[in-house]
């Protein structure tokens, strides 16, 4: 079977634009969560989010005009813009250019989103109701469709291979990377541009998740403290926005062109809970089977995993269900587990979460550093001896990292990234 490696990465998140900017922020224990200022939040239970830092008073402030022209962005929902921006960076980082037909035919795109153009749909619906159908833009539909990230990226970079989009809620980014790696393994492509993007922080998005009692509502005055996985004070997740994209490449293909290789996509597993539309099964069986499948695919034992980037959303129920599933993998021996949740810094980027967390996992392998879990001040009972990397990053050699993503509808995905030996 053909091996798949990572040769390029790009991202834009609440911590800023760029892979190294994000990684430095994570390792410095910075939070990207803030009070929402862009729209009315007075009647919303949750008034905070992880937003792209566009204002000068935010650290690592981003000027989107430098990354994608305003004229183009006006025709796109933000989730598409963020996906394009991350893909542009990833491809530039990889050094791969599809500058002839053979390269174009062998290079594909698989970038998904959990929700897609929610804000654009919301605004268009109001416009339709107030001013009628003639006021709807011809760009409305193509700016909102989830597969249009892949479409836009393929058009801009002349990528004529498999063109696909994953929509599996909060597992989208992980599934896109895993599925794209399989397309390479099975010979459908030599290079795939894969990841996820999301921009659902709007009144409708916040109202919808608040109606599910899923969002944090107790930290509106201290947003940086709101995302606190495994802490007794956790009260729900914090929505985030952004995108993460990786360039995946067949190993011999990458080696032949002298490409920089970050890590290998060693394993991929997925499963379904068949339990509930929003809640994970209490026994964590779906997550357990997803992780087990990824380890089987990687041909690794659990004791060879040096770091786990958890789904860890900061919900009262989900955090401990995942932790117990991980503990079951280790046959109850929690002393060898090193696991953290970078959502404590970024919030939950929904369809982009699995992609940005894949990048953080790859960087943990590259640099031998474990990103921290912020706000873990009062750990839940039954944590045991698990190292949840509280507050500050830790130095530790990482040969293999496991990244988990679990989504509404009981859809689970796990990825294993390994150092190239």
Task: Report, as residue numbers or ranges, the catalytic residues.
Answer: 170, 311, 348
Question: Which backbone phi and psi does 225 adopt, to 5 degrees?
Answer: -100, 0
Count H helices and E strands in the chain, helices first. 14, 15
Rounded to an integer, what is the distance from CA 403 to the centroid of its chain? Answer: 10
Question: How far apart (Å, rounded) are the C-alpha atoms in residues 226 and 344?
Answer: 8
Which position has the token pair 């833009």? 137
Specify the length of the chain in residues: 421
The DSSP symbol for 338 reads: B
* Two tokens, residue 140: 């409305």
Which position has the token pair 């988990």? 404
- Best CA proximity match to 346, nearest among 58, 33, 86: 33
Question: How far apart (Å, rounded) are the C-alpha atoms in residues 174 and 411?
Answer: 11
* Two tokens, residue 156: 């801009």
DSSP run (H or E) holding 126: helix 118-131
């Amino acid at each position: 079977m053909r091996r798949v490696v990572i040769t390029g990465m790009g991202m834009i998140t609440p911590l800023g634009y760029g892979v190294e900017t994000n990684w430095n922020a994570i390792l410095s224990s910075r939070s990207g969560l803030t009070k929402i200022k862009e729209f009315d939040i007075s009647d919303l239970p949750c008034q905070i989010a992880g937003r792209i830092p566009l204002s000068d008073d935010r650290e690592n402030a981003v000027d989107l005009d430098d990354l994608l022209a305003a004229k183009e962005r006006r025709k796109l929902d933000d989730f598409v813009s963020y996906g394009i921006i991350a893909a542009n960076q990833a491809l530039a980082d990889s050094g791969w250019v599809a500058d002839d037909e053979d390269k174009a035919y062998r290079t594909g795109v698989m970038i998904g989103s959990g929700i897609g153009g929610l804000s654009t749909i919301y605004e268009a619906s109001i416009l339709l109701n107030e001013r009628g159908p003639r006021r709807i833009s011809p760009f409305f539909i193509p700016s909102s469709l989830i597969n249009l990230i892949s479409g836009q990226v393929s058009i801009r970079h002349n990528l004529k291979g498999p063109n696909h989009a994953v929509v599996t809620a909060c597992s989208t980014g992980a599934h896109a990377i895993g599925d794209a790696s399989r397309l390479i393994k099975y010979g459908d492509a030599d290079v795939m541009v894969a990841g996820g993007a999301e921009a659902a922080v709007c009144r409708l998005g916040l109202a919808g998740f608040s109606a599910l009692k899923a969002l944090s509502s107790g930290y509106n005055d201290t947003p940086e403290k709101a995302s606190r996985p495994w802490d007794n004070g956790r009260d729900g997740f914090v929505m985030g926005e952004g995108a993460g994209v990786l360039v995946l490449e067949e190993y011999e293909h990458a080696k032949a062109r002298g490409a920089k290789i970050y890590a290998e996509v060693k394993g991929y597993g997925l499963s379904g809970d068949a339990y509930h539309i929003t809640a994970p099964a209490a026994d964590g069986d779906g997550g357990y089977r997803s992780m087990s499948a990824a380890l089987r695919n990687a041909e690794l034992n659990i004791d060879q995993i040096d770091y786990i980037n958890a789904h860890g959303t900061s919900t009262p129920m989900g955090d401990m269900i995942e932790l117990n599933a991980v503990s079951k993998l280790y046959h109850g021996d929690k002393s060898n587990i090193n696991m953290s949740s970078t959502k404590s810094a970024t919030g939950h980027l929904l369809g982009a979460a699995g992609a940005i967390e894949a990048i953080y996992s790859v960087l943990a392998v590259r640099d031998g550093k474990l990103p921290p879990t912020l706000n873990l001040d009062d750990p839940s009972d039954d944590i045991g001896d698990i190292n949840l990397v509280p507050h500050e990053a830790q130095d530790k050699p990482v040969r293999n990292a496991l990244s988990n993503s679990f989504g509404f509808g009981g859809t689970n995905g796990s990825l294993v990234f390994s150092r190239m030996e």
